[in-house]
Amino acid sequence: MSYKCNVCNLKITDDELYDWECGQCSGLDDWKSLDKVKTLTLSQGQKEQFLESLEVFANLIDKMERLKEEEREAIRGILNGE
């Protein structure tokens, strides 16, 4: 959940609520709940599937970076007459 200060309009998360003071905000009465933030709950299977998808994505990014470097080297070779 997130909150907005009625005094300075700062927006913070629930974790930060008790640690934050803007200098003008004197207490919890100055904070308004925004209630727009929803909590996402995943099953263990969904978490594992998500992590597997992230790993596939990371591998694709690594492959793309390698291909870009190979392309740069090929262009350098062409420009240097190799």
d(CA 12, CA 68): 40
Q: Is the pTM of this model over 0.85?
A: no
Q: Is the pLDDT of residue 41 over 60?
A: yes
Q: Which pLDDT score is estimated for 75?
A: 93
Could you give the dihedral angle defined by the CA atoms of residues 13, 19, 24 and 27, in that order, rounded to the nearest 10 degrees? 90
Residue 2's pLDDT is 67
Q: How much is the pLDDT for 6?
A: 66
Q: Which amino acid is at 54?
A: L
pLDDT grade for 38, boundaries at 50, 70 and 90: low
- Give the full edge-to-edge strand order of the sheet including 11-13: 11-13, 2-5, 31-33
Say what the pLDDT of residue 43 is. 82
